[in-house]
Structure 1
């Protein structure tokens, strides 16, 4: 990957991440409170829906930038000498590695954000300070495995589907899709991935919000899923599926559309500066 391509992926990914995370933050808060063990209204209901937004504002740019740099580099590396029919596998593998890297930044931001979302009386700084005092740095990475286990299946569905839909649309119209068309493909792909992975998202939320020392706090995804199934059944496993799917569908439109548009603009600016 050339230095210019690296900077394009870094900048475009970061811009896209900030756009979607900040625009859709209220829906994310509602989803988190629906999934929280104390219940929606005890977690704050519709009050203070921007609780935890500083954590997202700080973490979204580097998180998304890390994902897209890894994703694009992974595609370039894996596509070298491979057949076109292996493209879906290439996109799955590149997206999976991208998620593992991005989660190193995403998880601490997510832990603080979700705890602030269900404790609107506390500031983001107070939540961060309490977490570090009670659990140390390790507390910021509680739920890392469950987040990765959620994000990899999500990306394995979303990104190959997004790339396939773009290629199909490009083939149908005889030229490369416009940014708005890429955004539409991203919305559909995101909605499909969101529905399929909601149980993993619920498990991740429960692990991050669990009391320190509890069985759920240990981070065992299967235990968390079984506990939710035993106490709440299918409804518990799909808690928050509507706001999650809505947010991710709209988010896919903004995120992947903004990434596509920002990439094209930045690539066009490069040669002009060079001249």
Structure 2
């Protein structure tokens, strides 16, 4: 029952966020592209790539929360110290990200290439990727995505859990309500998004690189060095504002919707 609840709640939360905030994600991707914002499409075709994003958002989020809740329930001990439970939250978030990226990365490859390609057709981009790079091409950027997602989750989820406990204690309740959980998700997501933006820039460059480009090898440190050498700190933090807005609002909707759906399902 807990497994199915996490699966369904994650699916609902993921779909709501990825579809409603998709234009902000497109702007962020184009700002991070090596082509530059205008050449990558500017504010035109702002919904390019929404098809694969919509198809992949629910299963990706469902798998993450299933792995996250399962790991957390196995390891969590309510009577243990704060440090122990913090380590459990970090472990659960890391496990969730590694598993979820198996679904998330192929979706990101098709979605981001659609976002920066003129007259994009997601299905044709998928066929082109398979034809030129094989299945391995669909997982280009897996390592860089995991390297981005794990630090992000190590900040976001323990902070979210900590803020929820703090708010509940302050309000004299056992647990926060859905709005309070969503507000905690807003702040934890925004902080994590700002800190991990350089890793997101590297991930975007790797996914969008041509097959003969050195970035296509997927090694994140050389890509970060190249970004720094060509554009400095400004390039490393390209797209930080839309990323923080997207993930802050996304954290509000995503984590708030997750807790709300979970509470509703547990009440059935």
TM-score range for the pair, normalised by the shorter chain length: over 0.9
Query: How big is each residue's C-alpha offset from its partner over 1:201-259, in whole Å with a ceiling of 9 and x where there is no partner?
Result: 00000000001022111000000100000000000000000000000000000000000
Query: How many positions carry a matched residue from both structures?
Result: 266
Secondary structure in 2 matching 1:136: helix
- Tell me if 1:255 matches 2:254: yes
Residue 12 (structure 1) aligns with: 9
Tell me how far apart the structure 1 counterparts of residues 49 and 153 of structure 2 sit (CA, whole Å).
25
Q: Is the aligned partner of 1:28 residue 2:20?
A: no
In the TM superposition, structure 1's runs of 4+ consecutive aligned residues that sit over 6 Å from their partners are none
C-alpha RMSD over aligned residues: 0.9
1:155-207 alpha-carbon deviations (Å, 9 max, x no partner): 00000000000000000111121101000000000000000000000000000
From 68, 71, 78, the equivalent of 2:68 is 71
> Structure 1: where are the runs of 5+ without partners?
270-275
TM-score (norm 2): 0.98
Q: Indicate yes or no: 2:195 matched with 1:196.
A: yes
Picking from 53, 57, 79, the partner of 1:56 is 53
Q: Say yes or no: does 1:244 pair with 2:243.
A: yes
Match of 2:218 in 1: 219
TM-score for the superposition, normalised by structure 1:
0.95
Contact 2:77-2:85 within 8 A present in 1 as well = no
Q: Give the drift of 1:79.
A: 1.5
- The worse-fitting range, judged by mean Cα deviation, of 123-132 and 98-107 is 123-132
The whole-number CA distance in structure 2 between the counterparts of 1:133 and 1:84 is 53
What corresponds to 2:140 in structure 1? 142
> Structure 1 stretch 212-221 or stretch 191-200: which is displaced more?
212-221
**Displacement, 1:80?**
4.8
Matched-pair contact (CA < 8 Å) for 1:51–1:120: no
Aligned equivalents of 2:147, 2:91: Cα separation in 1: 14
* Structure 2 gap segments, 5+ residues each: none
How far the C-alpha of 1:84 sits from its partner, in A, is 3.4
